[in-house]
Amino acid sequence: MRPFHRTSPGTSGTPEADGSVAATGPDGPWTGGPGRPFVVGQVVPISLAVGAYGLSYGVLATAAGLSPGLATLSSVVVLAGGSQFAFVGVLAAGGHPMTGALGGLLLNLRYLAFGLAIAPHLSQGPWWRRALDSYLLVDESVALALGGSQHKRAERRHSQDPGRTVVSNDGSGTSDDEGALADDTGDERLPTLTVAGRYRRVGLGVVIAWIGATAVGAYGGQLLGDPERFGLDAAFPAGFLALLAPWLRQRSGQVAAAVGVLLALALTPVAPPGIPILAAGLGAVVALQVTRKESA
Amino acid sequence: MIVLALVALAVGTYLLKAVGPFAAAGRELPPVLSRLANLLPAAMLAALVATQTVTDEQRLVLDARLLGVAAAAVALLFRAPFAIVVLVGAGVTALARLAGIG
């Protein structure tokens, strides 16, 4: 079970995992040193899952009337799976393309919130770096980067002085460079990747997998047949569930998730696509209130 | 028109993604906002899981996906790695469809 434990999502932030991470030899800033087990154990599997989803997007996009080239290009320039599915879904149903674009944009409103969630961990670097960081903003990169730091966050909150210590550590200077041997928590004993380092590695993996798989699906889709036959449409929620797991080990995360699910499902039949996910964000507010009252 | 709509989707999406990194990169958020920002992904990821598992367009639909995602949750309880969780999710869904469920 040992290797299983180390590579399972969300355990990257545990002391054991970080200790073993440090033991492997450094041989490069991105896939070596503290980065290698993360890339092998987390980025590659997530990219493969994204690839499965991208494959079905490529198939569906060409079935909806996009040329294989345009389908692939759409994955390059949009890079937001859910909204791309919504877009080609509208096209396939004979709707107006602009309606599809609008529906996709509604779905992507959540990236506004995700961007603000990850921003404190990114560097105040030059504009091109911020532009690249913006491009790499996908569900997986934010979830894995922040999810990995949930454990220590919980531990520290239990130990002493909730709130303030956590925040002052989070924002302090270690958050910007890739291979830095200090965690976002500021705990120097545990050499590991920074939040930004995890974010960029996952983001790059998703970029490669999503675009590559779209191309394969778009150009070779006829050979594959109906992607739903292989359950590829369930690969995405299953993967999101795994990304969610680190939050579910704390009470505040459990409350946020539960309220989020209820809000989203209640609103789905009545609100336009995208709004339910956005409204689910209120679950975080509820969780904050509930857990604060409990600890007070 | 399709190309124009795609351009609109791409530009709009990028602008939404860029607000955080351009407006707040490296800034320390006030403690309450910081905790809120850390809980937002939990609420929204859970919502994504739910809607992608039991909804189709704007309807609630219980089909093979629910079995697949439930199986994936069990795999997670046994601390299976990410790839296995996803494979179980897709595999069980495919098997259920093969068996004529949903």
Q: Show residues of chain B in contact with A67, CB under 8 Å.
A: none
ipTM of the complex: 0.91
CB atoms within 10 A of CB A36: 17
A245 is a domain residue: no
Q: What is the mean pLDDT of chain B?
A: 92
Q: Choose from A77, A240, A290 for mutation: most chain B CBs within 10 A.
A: A240
A239 is a domain residue: no
Positions of chain A with pLDDT lower than 50, given as ranges: 1-28, 151, 154-155, 157-191
A238 is a domain residue: no
Q: Which of residues 11-50 of A touch B (CB under 8 A)?
A: 11, 41-42, 44-46, 48-49
CA distance A120 to A170: 8
Residue range of the domain that includes A97 = 2-232
Query: Do A224 and A254 fall into the same domain?
Result: no
Q: Indicate yes or no: CB of B55 within 8 angstroms of CB of A268.
A: yes
Q: What is the pLDDT of residue A31?
A: 62
CA distance B69 to B45: 14
Q: What is the pLDDT of residue A168?
A: 34
Query: Do A162 and A213 fall into the same domain?
Result: yes
- Size of chain A in residues: 296
Of A44, A147, A284, the CB nearest to B36: A284
Closest alpha carbon to B81 in A26, A237, A23, A238: A238
Query: Do A271 and A143 fall into the same domain?
Result: no
Closest alpha carbon to B68 in A79, A228, A90, A108: A228
| CA A118 vs CA A115, A123, A146, A255: distances in Å | 5, 10, 7, 21
Q: Indicate yes or no: CB of A167 within 8 angstroms of CB of B80.
A: no
A149 is a domain residue: yes
List, in order, residues 6 or more apart from B15 with CB less than 8 Å away.
none
Q: What is the pLDDT of residue A7?
A: 34
Q: Show residues of chain A in contact with B61, CB under 8 Å.
A: none
Q: Show residues of chain A in contact with B59, CB under 8 Å.
A: 268-269
What is the residue whose two structure tokens read 């980025």?
A43
Q: What is the pLDDT of residue A150?
A: 62
Residue of B nearest to A111 (CA): B17
Q: Choose from B27, B33, B44 for mutation: most chain A CBs within 10 A.
A: B44
Query: Do A212 and A260 fall into the same domain?
Result: no
Residue B95 has pLDDT above 50, yes or no: yes
Closest alpha carbon to B63 in A197, A159, A156, A237: A237
Residue of B nearest to A239 (CA): B86
Q: How many residue pairs bridge chain A and chain B with CB atoms within 8 Å of each other?
A: 357
Q: What is the pLDDT of residue A33?
A: 65
Q: What is the pLDDT of residue A105?
A: 92
Query: Do A148 and A6 fall into the same domain?
Result: yes
Q: Indicate yes or no: CB of A119 within 8 angstroms of CB of B90.
A: no
CA distance B15 to B4: 17
CA distance A287 to A255: 5
Quick one: what percent of chain A has pLDDT higher than 90?
43
Where exactly are the structural domains of chain B?
Answer: 1-55, 62-102
- pLDDT digit string (tens) for B43-74? 999 999 999 999 988 899 999 999 999 999 99
Whether A210 and chain B come into contact, CB under 8 Å, resolves to no
Residue B59 dihedral angles phi and psi, to the nearest 5°: -110, 150
Q: Indicate yes or no: CB of B81 within 8 angstroms of CB of A124.
A: no
A55 is a domain residue: yes
Query: Do A255 and A223 fall into the same domain?
Result: no
Q: Indicate yes or no: CB of B34 within 8 angstroms of CB of A276.
A: no
List, in order, residues 6 or more apart from B77 with CB less than 8 Å away.
none
Give the number of domains in chain A. 2
List, in order, residues 6 or more apart from B87 with CB less than 8 Å away.
none
Whether B58 and chain A come into contact, CB under 8 Å, resolves to yes
Alpha-carbon radius of gyration of chain B: 19
Which of these three, A198, A232, A266, is where a domain ends?
Answer: A232
Rounded to a whole number, what is the distance in Å from the CA of B73 to chain A's nearest CA?
A: 7
Whether A66 and chain B come into contact, CB under 8 Å, resolves to yes
Q: What is the pLDDT of residue A30?
A: 60
Query: Do A220 and A269 fall into the same domain?
Result: no
A244 is a domain residue: no
Query: Do A134 and A67 fall into the same domain?
Result: yes
